[in-house]
Amino acid sequence: MNLSVNLNKIALLRNSRGSNTPSLEAYANKAISLGVDGLTLHPRPDHRHATSNDALNISSLCKEKSLEFNLEGNPFSQPKNEFLGFYELCLQAKPDQITLVPDGEGQLTSDSGWEPGFQDSELKSFIAKVNELNCRTSLFINADIHSVEYASDMNFDRIEIYTGPFAQACLLDKNELQINCDKIKEVINRAQHLGLGVNAGHDLSLDNIQLLKECGLIDEVSIGHAIMTDSLKYGFDATIIKYINIIREK
């Protein structure tokens, strides 16, 4: 299982003062030198955290260091003010992986996977266009069989399982957790059968990664919020090392 670190929250902190502190590039370099497998950004049209320029800069840094850059976003986000629009960003950044998320403008964070059938024909033409860029495509989905089959029908290379409900269940009772783990196991098995890779993300933390690993083989986890909050406790370097260790532990 690989670790892609989502750096949005560093950008959020930087933007709160209008300067370049903390520097996204500095923390990207630190994470890279500590051994992460990839970096992720999810620029929103309002540029409240990562900006379009950040995506271009971090993408070229990743290319320079031979590391994967994962660009997340709503494929239908149009150019607005300084935001380039998601497709234009894909064209310019040439990410290694594009993860499509159905988030609306102003939404606090992604809180659901892609509903099968949502803007079907537009999604198909978007996939056809980005396939020409030779990057991996991944669809952010809820942990259900219908969604994984939809991702396969739409020719995605991977799915990213939305792990918000799983993380919530870890904090609740054992029954809820069992139900969520069973769903994730089923989705992983179906994805493998269909030849899709499996990513997972949202609300993952040092407290729940081990349980997630027990659900089956996952190619990559993308983690942002918990890494940044843990950094307040342990420091950035020690936190990244903790995550790498738990993720690589057999």
Burial class (CB in 10 A: 0-12, 13-18, 19+), 102: buried
42 flagged as catalytic = yes
Closest to ligand PXP by CB, 42 vs 183, is 42
Least CB distance from residue 242 to ligand PXP, whole Å? 15
Q: How far is the CB of 32 from ligand PXP (least distance, A)?
A: 18
- The residue among 237, 206, 235, 234 whose CA lies nearest residue 221 is 206
Catalytic-role residue among 68, 72, 160, 220: 72
Residues that bind ligand PXP (CB under 6 A): 6, 8, 42, 72, 99, 101, 109-110, 140, 160, 201-204, 222-226
Distances (CA, A) of 100 to 22, 71, 75, 138, 157: 28, 9, 6, 6, 12
Strands annotated E in 120-224: 136-141, 158-162, 197-201, 220-223
Q: How far is the CB of 189 from ligand PXP (least distance, A)?
A: 21
CB of 39 to ligand PXP, least distance (A): 12
Marked catalytic residue, from 49, 68, 160, 202: 202
Cβ-based nearer residue to ligand PXP, 5 or 250:
5
Catalytic, 202? Answer: yes
Closest CA to 57 of 27, 33, 101, 77: 27
Candidate list 42, 49, 68, 160, residue with the active-site label: 42
Q: Which residues are catalytic?
A: 42, 72, 202
